[in-house]
Chains A and B, each alone.
Chain A
Amino acid sequence: MPAGQPPGRRRYTTELSEPMQFAKDSFSMALRERLAGLNPARIVTLSGAQRPAIVVLENETPTPAELLTECYYIEWGPMRVAEAVSAQRPLCAMDCTISYCSRGTVASGVDRGRILGELDRELFMICQPTVTGKYDFSQSPNANLGSGAFWTLPAVDATKTTFRRSDHDPAVVEHQAKVTVFFFPEVETI
């Protein structure tokens, strides 16, 4: 039992990074699996391996190489308490930005708007249903945590991010979508 912990009392998980990571991983894996089912051809090759075109930037090796087109890049914001429904188990939220762009599939690039529209459509489809089970992906096989994560539908806007390239490259069309992911952190009992 941790020092200072009253006997028989539930101990709130003070290390919030773990449940936050569970929610992040569960969300991105859900999107990845859904994209693989929706459009198996929407793949990218990273570090020599092919995978569905969902990339969580903070999980990749830092590289100065240009980001890939027709690929969804996920950036996470900090966790916050969205609703203190319970002092021990608040409803937590994290904002997520999903960026994607296209140069088109023909040399002239005249279909880049259509491709971007298709990426919009696929994003909306893989974001529904707006719930997924929460898993611990740090162990094998993955552990079902029994709880879930849920989120808002993507709101596509023109907010600039560090990944916006259309400012200096007119051949690129780009969208950024905002999604807020909600989850309850797990609780340990002693």
Chain B
Amino acid sequence: MSNVVVRPAMVAVSRRVRAYFAPFDRTANRPAIFDPGKHGAFLLDAPPSPWIDLGEIEKFQRTSGTEVQAMIAGTTGTPAGQFRRALDAKVEFEFREWGKLQMALAGGSEHMNVLALDPDASARPSGGIPVGAVGVLDGSTTNEIVLGAGAVDAFAVGDMVAVDLDYAQQTGWVGTGVASAYVKDPADVQRDRDYVRRVTFNVGRVAGKTATSLLLAQPLAGGIPLAGASVQKVVAFVDREGGSFFQDWSALFVHEEESGGRVCLYYPRLSPSRASGGATGKFQAEARSAIQEPLAVINLHASFLAMPYVDENDGETVLCYRSYFPAEMSAVY
């Protein structure tokens, strides 16, 4: 007598990789956690908080440079055991979509919001003296910025805006919700009242207006505006080669399942790095992906170094996690 059991193949098939990033809490030195048991089966278009969907990526490569060495013992010099040293893991890929976060992650250092310029201001490569900010009122949320009647007229549907506190001569991390820059000395940033809004990740696109507020198309990445925050118009984004600041983010990559099995790759802390650059030996900041010559998609090339994290369950120091959710009814081995 036969016992018929259906066994889908244990083969992971995927056509694309999705990237999700979440801010690393630099003050508390704590990553955003991806718990496979709690978050693993999420809808790819609706990631759980605080993960932000940064779209499909291409040429995704994970490399491990961790050394495994043998302990040699005895007169015969035979291996008695092995150990790992110099933990090293890198991630490299290309963002297909451009945006504030994608540029910041690919660029790696401070990422600047170019604030709408005062017409009389002198020119600077990352934006000169801007038009004055408008104060944000109580009751604002991540999607709605309350400005009050009249004040709201300074903005139009379609504008990009930056929402954050005035710079108050402090030193340390600045930026609501996401550490956007580090100020060592207020003189470095010319005690610029608008400096925080120049670097903040709390940016959005005005999709609509009420009589007193701006309605944003996407929620602010850094969260609800803090009391005392102001808003300014943004006209472009700028990143720079150089600078002393390094972005720090938690990352999650998902091989979108076609045959049923999902593969998730979680990095508690990624810091921008520079890959070898292949044949040229140089890091190419942008990559060209031809559609039909001369048309091409310009991809943002990004490369990261995985930073260590101590797993609370066993105290081991690790760099990344790979989780697998087998297809329904597939064999487990």
Contacts and interface: CB of A to CB of B under 8 A. Distances in A.
Interface in B1-52: 2-9, 11, 13, 15
Contacts, number: 60
A148 B327 contact: yes
A184 B6 contact: no
A147 B5 CA distance: 12
9 contacts: A10-B7, A89-B11, A130-B258, A131-B258, A146-B328, A148-B259, A182-B13, A184-B9, A184-B259
B329 interface: yes
Given A131-B258, A147-B260, A150-B13, A189 B8 contact: no
A189 B7 contact: yes
Interface of A: 1, 10, 85-86, 89, 91, 130-131, 145-148, 150, 182, 184, 186-190
Contacts of B327: 146-148
Given A91-B13, A146-B328, A188 B2 contact: yes
B5 A85 contact: no
Given A147-B260, A189-B3, A85 B9 contact: yes
Q: Contact residue range for chain B?
A: 10 to 19
Q: Give the 9 A-B residue pairs with the shortest CB-CB distance, closest first.
A: A146-B329, A147-B8, A184-B9, A150-B258, A89-B9, A189-B5, A187-B7, A85-B11, A146-B328
A186 B6 contact: yes
A30 B154 CA distance: 50
Contacts of B259: 147-148, 150, 184
Contacts of B3: 189-190
A186 B258 CA distance: 16
Describe B's contact surface by its main secondary structure: loop
Given A131-B258, A188-B2, A147 B11 contact: no
Contacts of B13: 91, 150, 182
A150 B12 CA distance: 12
Given A146-B328, A150-B259, A188 B4 contact: yes
A163 B254 CA distance: 41
A46 B214 CA distance: 53
Contacts of B5: 188-189
Contacts of A150: 13, 258-259
- Among B9, B15, B327: residue with most chain A CB under 10 A: B9
Given A148-B259, A150-B258, A150-B259, A184 B11 contact: yes
- Among B5, B8, B15: residue with most chain A CB under 10 A: B8
Contacts of A1: 2
Interface string B240-282: 0000000000000000011110000000000000000000000
A146 B8 contact: yes
A148 B13 CA distance: 11
Given A86-B11, A91-B11, A91-B13, A147 B6 contact: yes
- Among A86, A147, A150, A190: residue with most chain B CB under 10 A: A147
A85 B11 CA distance: 8
Nearest to B5: A189
Contacts of A146: 6, 8, 327-330
Contacts of A188: 2, 4-5
Given A188-B2, A189-B4, A190-B3, A147 B9 contact: yes
Given A89-B9, A184-B11, A148 B260 contact: yes
A157 to B, nearest CB: 15
Nearest to B12: A85
A147 B329 CA distance: 7
Nearest to B257: A131
Contacts of A187: 6-7
A188 B8 CA distance: 10
Contacts of A184: 8-9, 11, 259
Contacts of A186: 6-8
Interface in B276-333: 327-330
A100 B9 CA distance: 34
A186 B330 CA distance: 11
